Amino acid sequence: MRALVWIVEDTWEATVAEAAAFLPADAEVTLLHVAPGDVETLAEGSRHGLLGRRRPPPLGPPASLRVISDEAAEALLDEARERFGREAGTERRRGRVEREVVAAAEGMDILVLARDGDHSRLGPHSLGPPARFVVDHAPCRVLLVWADTPPAVETIPPPPEHPPKHPPPN
Amino acid sequence: MPEAVSLVLALLVLAGTLAAAVVHSRWPVEALVAAGGAALLVAVGTLSVADARHALGDLGPTVGFLAALLVLAEGCRREGLFDAMGGLMAAGARGSPRRLLALVFAVAATVTAVLSLDATVVLLTPIVFATAARLRTSPRPHVYACSHLANSASLLLPVSNLTNLLAFHASGLSFMRFAGLMALPTAAAVAVEWMVLTRFFAVDLQRPRRARTGDTERPELPRFALAVVALTLAGFGLSSVLGIAPVWVAVAGAAAITAPALARRTTTARTLALAAEPSFLVFVLGLGVIVRAASDHGLADAARALLPSGVALPELLAVAAVSAILANLVNNLPATLILVPVAAPSGAAAVLAVLVGVNIGPNLTYVGSLATLLWRRVLHVEDHEVELGEFVRLGALTVPAGLILATVLLWFSAQGLT
């Protein structure tokens, strides 16, 4: 079985723990991180508003955002692999996050990811746009985990008193 | 030369100069084009030598002021001030993305106000990015905060933005009076950013995450750099009392933070000269002469027709709106050079309204102007385009609200002004 585990800042610890608990011991696991390239572009793009004032400072320039981002992703994947406690490969990508995840899931048997939405209002928004896109388009099975504790069954609101009217079947 | 021909020629040179800046080559093309264009306008008689000298004389102190501030900011970086602030933000956030954002707001607004928006964009933003990465949280809200606050918080002091420096002399205000009038508008603009960004990124900021330990070591702030900055600020405040032009205070601050490093040989004269961005300084001087030529031959009249005179609230709102639009079409630097002389006769409040417009306005585009944005998209300069929808939505949510609130508070603050 080939498994892809999508590692995201904030929620990665839960994802790794659940993947370790539920993926079979013989699964061939890849931990994936995708850097949002547009955030780096945004941060560097602000410089262009300065017209000519653009060179990085001459002495020991702050590393370019790309370098900082790559190092951070590398460190995160290393820590995630250590926490996973099993053999796993890693993969780094950069771009539109949700699209890159779907592309990376090609040929996999299962994709593990965490909910990235609003946990305080359970409903469609418990999945943020990236996870929603990935769940909709994943070319394989999906294991969707809670980044914190799953909600209790009692949190389901009571059914509406009058069921919504549906048009009569033809 | 007929007036119309002079105007067309000056506008063509202006357009060429801005285009050279937008193209953003590795070489200082824009400085050469600006200087060459200015020389051309003088050579063909569009601008008299005396007028050109006058324009340069007006801009000289401003450009010197800017150079001193750039050297001061570079000195702060060299002393480790920005790295230390990154460490402080990481420790202070205690693992909460929302607390981190609050700290980023505080630091970015302070750095912008005191060391100018350049320092926030060039020196602080990478630190904030790295800090978010270290805390293993999404950098998106924090990077947006830096990008927006570099503009919104740059209203406060004459040194916060080059546009302010350019308008400072024309405003006729003392350093403290400028700050006093801009305090409430700045607070309003920053408050709008906080309200909008925390809601817009609510999900990113409260993603359920497990509390993390470690990373809580508080770094030492570099006392020397902080002391120099504090004394420089105090000097700015006292400059009018002491009868010293603020530019000399900035020069003293730059010298104070640089001398020990030169003595210790941790920096070189060449590094210092580069930190002052000589090619950019030439560009500003050239741009000033070119705009002066265009203004003298009709551009100022056109601006006068657009810009209402008077300092009642509706006029100030219109001035801020026109300034914001012009800043977005070209860039806020030429917009300031064009509009400030036109607004100045109406009084300090009108000049400050121009600054509200040209400083907050550019948040509609992350690269400073639509011209730059479109050009970059045409060329596909970026590997990863920022989603237009996201930053345009954020700009649309913050800019009009920020402009209106800041202008209303400026009008309120300026009530005592005669």
Domains of chain A: 2-52+64-150 (3.40.50.620)
Quote the CA–CA distance of B294 and B289 in Å, as a whole number: 9
* One-letter amino acid for residue B156 of the chain: L
Contact list, B267 vs chain A (CB under 8 Å) = 59
Residue B27 belongs to a domain: yes
Give percent above pLDDT 90 in chain B. 68
pLDDT for residue A167: 67
**Structure confidence at residue A64 (pLDDT):** 76
What's the CA gap between A153 and B255, in Å, rounded? 67
d(CA A95, CA B349): 46
Q: Which residue did the predictor score with more confidence, B95 or A121?
A: B95
> Could you tell me which chain B residue has the CA closest to the CA of A74?
B133
Examine residue B143 and state whether it is found in any structural domain, yes or no: no
Contact B322, B302 (CB under 8 A): no
Angle at B69 between CA B63 and CA B72, to 5 degrees: 145
Measure the N-to-C terminal CA separation of chain A; round to a whole number of Å.
Answer: 45
**Among A117-131, B164-178, B183-197, B350-364, which stretch is predicted with the lowest mean pLDDT?**
A117-131
Residue B343, domain member (yes or no): no
List the domain range (segments joined by +) for residue B12: 1-46+283-298
pTM: 0.90
Judge: A9–B137 Cβ closer than 8 Å, yes or no: yes
* Domain count within chain B: 1
Rounded to the nearest 5 percent, the helix, strand and coil shares of chain B are 80, 0, 20
Most confident by average pLDDT, B122-126, B281-285, B404-408: B404-408
Residue B214 belongs to some domain of the structure: no
CB interface of A with B, residues 76-135, below 8 Å: 76, 94-96, 116-120, 125, 128
Contact A13 B209 (CB under 8 A): yes
Lowest mean pLDDT among B281-290, B350-359, B377-386, B396-405: B377-386
Residues of B in contact with A52 (CB under 8 A): 21, 28, 30-31, 277, 279-280, 283-284
A92 or A162: whose pLDDT is higher? A92
CA-nearest residue to A116 within chain B is B207
Between CA B340 and CA A48 the distance in angstroms is 23
Does A72 contact B133 at a Cβ distance shorter than 8 Å? yes
Rounded to whole angstroms, how far apart are CA atoms A138 and A5? 13
pLDDT at B267: 83
**Mean pLDDT of the residues in chain B:** 90
Nearest CB to A46 within list B121, B208, B333: B121
Residue B6 belongs to some domain of the structure: yes
Select from B99, B111, B128, B143 the residue whose CB has the most chain A CBs within 10 Å, as the one to mutate to test that interface: B143
| Segment A71-90, tens digit of pLDDT | 999 999 999 999 999 999 99
Q: Is A58 a residue whose pLDDT tops 50?
A: no
Provide the pLDDT for residue B210: 63
Cβ neighbors of A88 (< 8 A, separation 6 or more) are A5, A29, A30, A31, A81
| B140 inside domain | no
In this prediction, residues B145-171 reach a mean pLDDT of 94
pLDDT digits (tens, 9 = 90+) for B209-265: 665 545 567 788 899 999 999 999 999 999 988 889 899 999 999 999 999 998 888
Among B267, B362, B384, select the one facing A41 at the smallest CB separation.
B384
Closest C-alpha among B369, B363, B372 to residue B403: B363
Residue A88 Cα, gap to closest chain B Cα (Å): 20
DSSP B212-249: --S--PPPPP-HHHHHHHHHHHHHHHHHHHHT--HHHH
CA distance B94 to B103: 11
Whether B18 is in a domain gets the answer: yes
- Tell me whether residues A125 and B203 touch, CB distance under 8 A: yes
Interface predicted TM-score (ipTM):
0.85
Lowest mean pLDDT among A41-50, B69-78, B92-101, B381-390: B381-390
Of B268, B334, B294, the closest CA to residue B22 belongs to B334
Nearest CA in chain A to B82: A62
Is B21 part of any domain? yes
